[in-house]
Amino acid sequence: MEATRNQTGCLKTTLIMVGSAFAFICLILLLADIKCAYDIENWWAPLYPNGKTVEVEYDLFRARALGVTKLIMESPDDVETVKQFYREKRLATLREGKTRGLAWSESFVMPLENGEGSRIVLTSACGT
């Protein structure tokens, strides 16, 4: 049995609609991922300038974007210096009038086991 022109046209239209919906969802996810990465990096949980990343865990496409990320850094700087950096960054963010948006973050700073330097734990979540 041969498909009629009407059936073939309906199938093509359905495939185009499903493909368009899939492309639209992918575009929304891509834009959200880019926005989350930008906000986390520049406003909510920037990397400490004098720190070295020692561990990264994330649950979606990439670290420090959509999903939840836990990043651990070590720095030779003392705990108070690192805490002051994050306090000043958070205050500057608030002064700029930035709202949380999709991103959320926390920073914890503690002394290294040997007593010299700091361990920095940055946790960020976006779109969750």
**How many domains in the chain?**
1
Which residue type sits at 27?
Answer: L
Contact by Cβ (8 Å): 36, 103 = yes
pLDDT bin (cut points 50, 70, 90) of residue 119 is very high
Token pair recorded at residue 112: 């290294």
Which residue type sits at 1?
Answer: M
* pLDDT tens per residue, range 66-82: 899 999 999 999 999 99
* pTM assigned to the model: 0.79
Q: Give the number of other Cβ atoms within 10 Å of residue 40's Cβ.
A: 26
Strand, helix or coil at 66?
coil
Range of the domain at 84: 5-126
- Provide the mean pLDDT of the chain: 87
